[in-house]
Amino acid sequence: MTQQHPFLALTDSDRDEMLGMIGVGAVDELFGDLPDSVRLGRELDLEPALSEQELFAHVAALAERNADASSEVSFLGAGMYDHYVPAVVDAILQRGELLTAYTPYQPEMSQGVLQAIFEYQTAICELTGMDVSNASGYDGTSVAADAFYVAKHATGRSKIVVTEATNPQVRQVVKTYAAGFGLEVVEAPQRDGTTDPDELERVAADAAAVIFQQPNFFGCLEPAPDLVSVAADAGALPIAHVDLLSLGVLEAPGRYGAALALGEGQAAGNFPSFGGPHYGFLAARSEFIRRMPGRIVGETVDTAGERGYVLTLQTREQHIRREKATSNITTNQTLLALGGLVYLTWLGPQGLRELGETCLSLAAYAKQRLAERAGIESVFSTQTTFKEFAVRVGRNAREVVAAARERGVHPGYALGRDYEGMDDVLLVAVTERRTPEEIDRLADVLAEVCG
Amino acid sequence: MKLIYEKSQAGRRASALPRYDELPAAPEIPEDLRRNEPPRLPEVPEFELVRHFTELSTRNFGVDTGFYPLGSCTMKYNPRINERLAALPGFARLHPLQDEDGAQGALELMWRLQEILAEVTGLDAVSLQPAAGSQGELTGLLLVRAYFAARGEAEQRRKVVIPDTAHGTNPASVTMAGYELTPVRTDARGNIDVDDLRGKVDEHTAALMLTNPSTLGLFDENIEEIERIFHAAGALMYYDGANLNAVCGISRPGDMGFDIVHINLHKTFSQPHGGGGPGGGPVAVRKTLEPFLPVPAVVRREDGGFGLDFDRPQTIGKVRGFTGPFGVFVRSYAYLRMWGPRLREMSETAVLNANYVLARLKDAYDLPFDRLCMHEFVLSARTMKREHGCTALDVAKRLMDYGFHPPTIYFPLIVPEALMVEPTETEAKETLDAFCDAMLAIAREAADEPELLKEAPHHRPVKRLDEVRAAKQPVVRYAFDDALERVEAPKGA
């Protein structure tokens, strides 16, 4: 006889009683509405069920076949970063009451997650200088597409501009979405590592929105206020794609006039986890509040006059507005956004500024050491960079990556994967987790493999 | 309860960061790009942080807390081993741009998951990339577009057919994909009205989007006829996998004739719902649609290794960064391996549980479609409202006092005062009985003491919240210095 499955509870006598109550003789009769032609009629062709112990052994063996940031010294960034995630994040996210709840449709059952989202929205607004934040989007790519949907409806225009120095994954995803939205996507070129406002002006006419990344994909600081002015003068919504962890040292997008600010939240409180799950954040000026996609939590009172929180402005959303909704998003990334809130609370304003300064200093140190020890120079040497910078390595960067990895160091991202003429360019990311000793080791390894 | 911002005191902090001596000075940030005013993040010591979020968790209810029969959301048990596995450094600290030879274990897990999902759905090829069910829907519709564009029928086929019982995401996705909506009615037995359908499907139809079993918890008895109608018209069939938990190992969407399916990993395959997410929305398709799937595809190479294939000239592109929410894949893969072919028992038990609860409740509430159900069912509080003035909302709020999370209410839209109950396969008979006893007690209370319902909940951290006020006067962030004035204003007002 088959052993009872650990995730089931019914005994044979339970089953008999229940079938009796229903008034059928066997479980199979419950499926009487299924025509024979659509029935599988055989067992699923899957490997037999594993016990927990067997499962652990199997999956742990798979995990061990990966080279992660604990097994090699990694300078890989390009949108995902190896920042430290403190233990308090794990502890809070593993609270079953938060982990195993769903969207707080019934607010009296869900004040914990609702208040947390309200606090998260506040943190995102503080960091970005915006008035309203949603409860999260899927990631840093899909929130850009969400913002374009806002811009399309806010302006009635059908062209969007994305700078070439914006993360290639973001550009690819917005192009996919644009096919459905009926939007044309135009790129504004980069010159010497940043976007030239004059060149942006040439393509921004009649655009619904202009999106740029700050710091950009090469790690360089864009002339963000100038790009915003160009977009605004053209009647396009200026949208800033930003790194939350830069916003202790870099100006808030709201302060230089961006209409929306968004980005990938992974760096702030989530593990890289081979690409997800993470959270995309999306914030806007108050005039766009009723065009925002996704969940928004608002403050209210209960019948006793006590403060409480609820999902609000739901007439924007798919379950009410259906085909006229501002987005189809339902399930979002609440738990990961909660991780972001816990992390940002852990950092606090001082920690955030110190983290930004440490990244700036370590990256400056790395540039210096690569030049001194390996004769490797920055590609965009006149630009200010944050935690990431591009260097020319004198040979195919993908080969450099492979050779360096054999020596236990992942030296960065080969930019030739996305940019023409950059086959010999490596994008090096330096977070606070990389010590000066590890940076020295990178320089030595690169001296060896590039020489 | 105070907000974390209200517990903040300048100068406190929970973090201590590494300090590296003898680093060069940080480069000067140009004045117009530099931040001068710090963001008002909370300033608390680490133990206050932990206490704050722990207290928040005590004001929340999850599957780990108790019975959560939220219809259409499949709130089943989320095994703890999945969390341990997803947190292994080889997964959690693995960079998505790692070279393929340094990510073989992750790629193999994804490839194995794709193979399992193909078998469970009865289809040929799977993309794990979409981040949630809604994104899976959009991906599916973009696949439909690409398929007809390749056949030169993009301009001709502009319409997508959706029954009136559908989730709101379906019509929203149709608009986002640039299609027009063709709604179709539900018949008296709760199936798609086939007569209505026949008149609406023609050479302009691109696809059907159908949830089967439907949001009424009913398997469409005319599925064979529906399949004939769409395929005869040259249209495609899209299966919204929201209710896949009813039929695993029993009936497969591919065998029902569907060409594209999205699967909700957070519903059927136990990714914890996380208070609203994350999810996972893989898409499975027939061979004819495989060339259009998102890039990169996770493939098994001839040498037995695993890799990412970007060379798909007909692809719709990317819908999300990298290859999808990998941590979700770890959890769902683990879950699927703990069931194997016994998935059938999972679905059978989910259906048995639902029918048992339905049998116990159907005399106390209205049952709009008097049939056996699948994994969920929809009752109505219409009579209760008419006779006692108590609504589905009141029932839901009163259930909280009995210690249960309420069902989904007011959905599907075609059932007035709807109460949509999905027990899932999780739950002992004792729990189901306790829930039924509560629902029956509430039905009696509605007749005897309706105020008990109308003033519910009585035993939650807050009483009934004013959702209208929240929408009319939106306060969507803490106001800091202004807060004092705002909170105290009502006294004098």
Q: Are residues B374 and B295 in the same domain?
A: no
Report helix angle B46-58 to A111-128, nearest 10: 130
Closest CB from B79, B134, B358 relative to A330: B134
pLDDT at B222: 98
Contact between chains at A364 and B27 (C-beta distance less than 8 A): yes
Q: Are residues A93 and A236 in the same domain?
A: yes
Sheet of strand A413-414: strand arrangement: A377-378, A388-392, A425-429, A413-414
Q: Are residues A188 and A264 in the same domain?
A: yes
Asked if pLDDT for residue A370 goes beyond 60, the answer is yes
Closest CB from A48, A172, A275 relative to B324: A275
Q: Are residues B207 and B116 in the same domain?
A: yes
Average pLDDT score, chain A: 97
Where residue B482 falls among pLDDT bands split at 50, 70, 90? Answer: low
pLDDT at B488: 38
Structure-token match 């968004």, residue found: A262
Task: With beta carbons under 8 A apart, name residues in chain A contacting B317.
Answer: 172-173, 175-176, 179
Task: With beta carbons under 8 A apart, name residues in chain B contacting A112.
Answer: 56-60, 275
Contacts of B402 (CB under 8 A, 6+ apart): B434, B435, B438, B441, B442
Asked if pLDDT for residue A329 goes beyond 70, the answer is yes
Task: With beta carbons under 8 A apart, name residues in chain A contacting B119.
Answer: 44-46
- Select from B316, B341, B366 the last residue of a domain: B341
pLDDT in tens, A377-403: 999 999 999 999 999 999 999 999 999
Q: Is residue B73 part of a domain?
A: no
**Cα–Cα distance measured from residue B402 to residue B413, given in angstroms and rounded to the nearest whole number:** 27
Q: Are residues B315 and B355 in the same domain?
A: no
B90 CA: distance to closest CA in chain A (Å): 4
**Does the global pTM surpass 0.90?**
yes
Q: Is residue A390 part of a domain?
A: yes
Contacts of A194 (CB under 8 A, 6+ apart): A165, A216, A220, A221, A222, A223, A380, A383
pLDDT at A1: 55
Q: Is residue B434 part of a domain?
A: yes
Q: Are residues B325 and B461 in the same domain?
A: no
Closest CB from B29, B358, B476 relative to A297: B476
Closest CB from A10, A331, A362 relative to B20: A362
Q: Are residues A142 and A216 in the same domain?
A: yes
Residue A174 has a CB neighbour count (10 Å cut-off) of 26
- Select from B296, B318, B341 the last residue of a domain: B341
pLDDT at B481: 78
ipTM over 0.90 threshold: yes
Contact between chains at A345 and B49 (C-beta distance less than 8 A): yes
Closest CB from A46, A70, A78 relative to B340: A46
pLDDT in tens, B420-438: 999 999 999 999 999 999 9
- Which of B223, B264, B333, B371 lies closest to A22 in space, CA to CA? B371
Backbone torsions φ then ψ of A117, nearest 5 degrees: -65, -40
Q: Are residues A100 and A173 in the same domain?
A: yes
Q: Are residues A215 and A309 in the same domain?
A: yes
Closest CB from A95, A122, A247 relative to B5: A122
Q: Give me the percent of chain B exceeding a pLDDT of 90.
A: 96
Average pLDDT score, chain B: 96
For A6-28, what is the mean pLDDT?
A: 98
Q: Is residue A56 part of a domain?
A: no
Q: Are residues B123 and B237 in the same domain?
A: yes
Q: Is residue A53 part of a domain?
A: no
Q: Is residue A3 part of a domain?
A: no
Contact between chains at A62 and B18 (C-beta distance less than 8 A): no
B146 CA: distance to closest CA in chain A (Å): 10
The pair of structure tokens assigned to A212 is 């740029």
Q: Which CATH number does the domain housing residue A175 bear?
A: 3.40.640.10
> Chain A residue with minimal CA distance to B9?
A348
For B236-262, what is the mean pLDDT?
A: 98
Q: Are residues B292 and B330 in the same domain?
A: yes
> Chain A residue with minimal CA distance to B140?
A180
- Select from A311, A341, A371 the last residue of a domain: A341
Q: Are residues A294 and A438 in the same domain?
A: no
Provide the domain count of chain B: 2
- Which of A339, A352, A348, A350 lies closest to A116 in space, CA to CA? A339
Q: Are residues A282 and A413 in the same domain?
A: no
Paired residues of A137 in beta bridges = A280
pLDDT in tens, A45-73: 999 999 999 999 999 999 999 999 999 99
Contact between chains at B43 and A58 (C-beta distance less than 8 A): no
Contact between chains at A308 and B465 (C-beta distance less than 8 A): yes
Interface test mutation site (partner B, options A4, A5, A7, A288, max chain B beta carbons within 10 A): A7
Q: Is residue B482 part of a domain?
A: no
**Cα–Cα distance measured from residue B206 to residue B210, given in angstroms and rounded to the nearest whole number:** 13
Interface test mutation site (partner A, options B2, B3, B9, B56, max chain A beta carbons within 10 A): B56
Q: Is residue A417 part of a domain?
A: yes
Q: Are residues A80 and A163 in the same domain?
A: no
B399, B459 contact by CB (below 8 A): no
For B273-290, what is the mean pLDDT?
A: 98
Amino acid symbol at A376: I
Interface test mutation site (partner A, options B1, B40, B97, B405, max chain A beta carbons within 10 A): B97
Q: Is residue A423 part of a domain?
A: yes
Angle subtended at Cα A289 by Cα A283 and Cα A295, rounded to the nearest 5 degrees: 70
pLDDT at B492: 34
Q: Is residue A379 part of a domain?
A: yes
Q: Are residues A306 and A400 in the same domain?
A: no
pLDDT in tens, A212-222: 999 999 999 99
A269 CA: distance to closest CA in chain B (Å): 12
**Cα–Cα distance measured from residue B463 to residue A332, given in angstroms and rounded to the nearest whole number:** 27
Q: Domain of residue A219: give its range.
A: 88-341
Q: Which CATH number does the domain housing residue B236 bear?
A: 3.40.640.10
Q: Are residues B230 and B246 in the same domain?
A: yes
A195, A188 contact by CB (below 8 A): yes
For B32-58, what is the mean pLDDT?
A: 98
Q: Which CATH number does the domain housing residue A429 bear?
A: 3.90.1150.10
**Cα–Cα distance measured from residue A326 to residue B340, given in angstroms and rounded to the nearest whole number:** 40
For chains A and B, count residue pairs whose Cβ atoms are closer than 8 Å: 721
Residue B6 has a CB neighbour count (10 Å cut-off) of 13
The pair of structure tokens assigned to A324 is 């006229």
Contact between chains at A173 and B406 (C-beta distance less than 8 A): no
Interface test mutation site (partner B, options A22, A273, A309, A370, max chain B beta carbons within 10 A): A273
**Cα–Cα distance measured from residue A130 to residue A114, given in angstroms and rounded to the nearest whole number:** 20
Where residue B491 falls among pLDDT bands split at 50, 70, 90? Answer: very low
Interface test mutation site (partner B, options A331, A381, A384, A438, max chain B beta carbons within 10 A): A331
Asked if pLDDT for residue B483 goes beyond 80, the answer is no
Q: Is residue A5 part of a domain?
A: no
Q: Domain of residue B383: give its range.
A: 342-468
A299-318 b/e (C-beta count within 10 Å ≥ 16 → b): bbbbeeeebbbbbbbbebbb
Asked if pLDDT for residue B226 goes beyond 80, the answer is yes
Contact between chains at A10 and B38 (C-beta distance less than 8 A): no
- Select from A314, A341, A368 the last residue of a domain: A341
Task: With beta carbons under 8 A apart, name residues in chain B contacting A405.
Answer: 99, 102
**Cα dihedral: B437, A106, B62, B462 (round 10):** -90
Structure-token match 């911002």, residue found: B5
Q: Is residue B4 part of a domain?
A: no
Residue B159 has a CB neighbour count (10 Å cut-off) of 18
pLDDT in tens, A261-272: 999 999 999 999
Where residue A104 falls among pLDDT bands split at 50, 70, 90? Answer: very high
Task: With beta carbons under 8 A apart, name residues in chain B contacting A14.
Answer: 428-429
Q: Are residues B129 and B139 in the same domain?
A: yes
Q: Which CATH number does the domain housing residue B401 bear?
A: 3.90.1150.10
Provide the domain count of chain A: 2
- Which of A261, A349, A327, A278 lies closest to B326 in space, CA to CA? A278
Q: Are residues A190 and A122 in the same domain?
A: yes
Q: Are residues B161 and B233 in the same domain?
A: yes
- Select from A341, A358, A378 the last residue of a domain: A341
pLDDT at B484: 45
- Which of B103, B135, B126, B109 lies closest to A272 in space, CA to CA? B103
The pair of structure tokens assigned to B37 is 């005013």
Closest CB from A112, A311, A345 relative to B57: A112
B386 CA: distance to closest CA in chain A (Å): 24
Interface test mutation site (partner A, options B175, B227, B464, B476, max chain A beta carbons within 10 A): B476
pLDDT in tens, B97-111: 999 999 999 999 999
Q: Are residues A245 and A306 in the same domain?
A: yes
**Cα–Cα distance measured from residue A34 to residue A409, given in angstroms and rounded to the nearest whole number:** 57
Q: Could you write out the DSSP letters of every residue in B39-69?
A: -------HHHHHHHHHHHHHTB--TTTS---
Contact between chains at B341 and A95 (C-beta distance less than 8 A): no
Closest CB from B250, B277, B469 relative to A300: B469
- Which range, of A264-273, A295-304, B460-469, B483-492, averages the lowest pLDDT? B483-492
Asked if pLDDT for residue B358 goes beyond 60, the answer is yes
Q: Is residue B121 part of a domain?
A: yes
Contact between chains at A126 and B40 (C-beta distance less than 8 A): yes
Q: Is residue B11 part of a domain?
A: no
Q: Are residues A169 and A134 in the same domain?
A: yes
Asked if pLDDT for residue B38 goes beyond 50, the answer is yes
Q: Are residues B423 and B410 in the same domain?
A: yes
User: Residue B161 belongs to what H/E stretch?
Assistant: strand B159-163
Q: Are residues B238 and B372 in the same domain?
A: no
Q: Is residue B387 part of a domain?
A: yes
B387 CA: distance to closest CA in chain A (Å): 25
Q: Is residue B70 part of a domain?
A: no
Q: Are residues B311 and B403 in the same domain?
A: no
A282, A260 contact by CB (below 8 A): yes
- Select from B341, B357, B381 the last residue of a domain: B341
